[in-house]
Structure 1
């Protein structure tokens, strides 16, 4: 019993301040109080409808099911993208829905990805009108006047319209090229 009293009275000196055993109990209680407060306010928090998912670690040397999930999420290139030399690597972002199935997939590869909720600090955009807005890497969907485009610039100019070539207009240059080619 005497040893226990001496241990409880023992003061550990760290970085110039005295911390007793009771301090650790107080710190633990403060942490639990914060957790209880967060859980009490959890009903007031509205979950995000979308997530920004970033690949932070390569899926190389990982099991096939983790590689498949990363490909399904679109964070790694598919076979068609590989053929077209479209490379995706660490740092790639995608936006996914917050659904139970998607959360289950993200949970399985949580050590390979970073998930951030998409927030709308400037308010939700009106349906169909997403001009002068952007989604930044931290998951904020912002509206900015610098991205506004003149409606006149969106109108197609006649001189840039595609001209449909007829068969004769195509055949003559092709025939000349064939006849004058070096073989």
Structure 2
């Protein structure tokens, strides 16, 4: 056989990229995140980012490095803490921290379908699991409704409940005696 065909490759020879390798064509976002699109002419769709995230711990932090546990403790969602849910601002510093523990948490953007809450609405606000923050406003009657109620109650032609009951009882008792 030909000696060139039986060329032996050393099993100790490895091909690995160095740690400083950066693939070309990536889109760099704030917070140190680099995205590599499939198509070179890819454009992100217009999107208004949410101001807040609902972060829920879905896996325990046991057998994970101390720096990931530290991030969960800063978010107050470690196992020893009372709650598994935290509300986090959508800023680059928090996004880079969440990127490091993304395998341990579920991140849901918070949306406000009925408007953002104010300080007065704090007792009437509910945050759902799907990220909807529902603000229930106080029910207050409009002035025209109050005026219409007063006008109805003061109307002279209005029948009171005693008259209606008496008339209904009379019609019930004498249903077939009258000539139609």
Normalising by structure 1, we get a TM-score of 0.49
Normalising by structure 2, we get a TM-score of 0.49
Higher Cα Rg, which structure: 2
Instruction: Report the structure, 1 or 2, having the larger helix content.
Output: 1
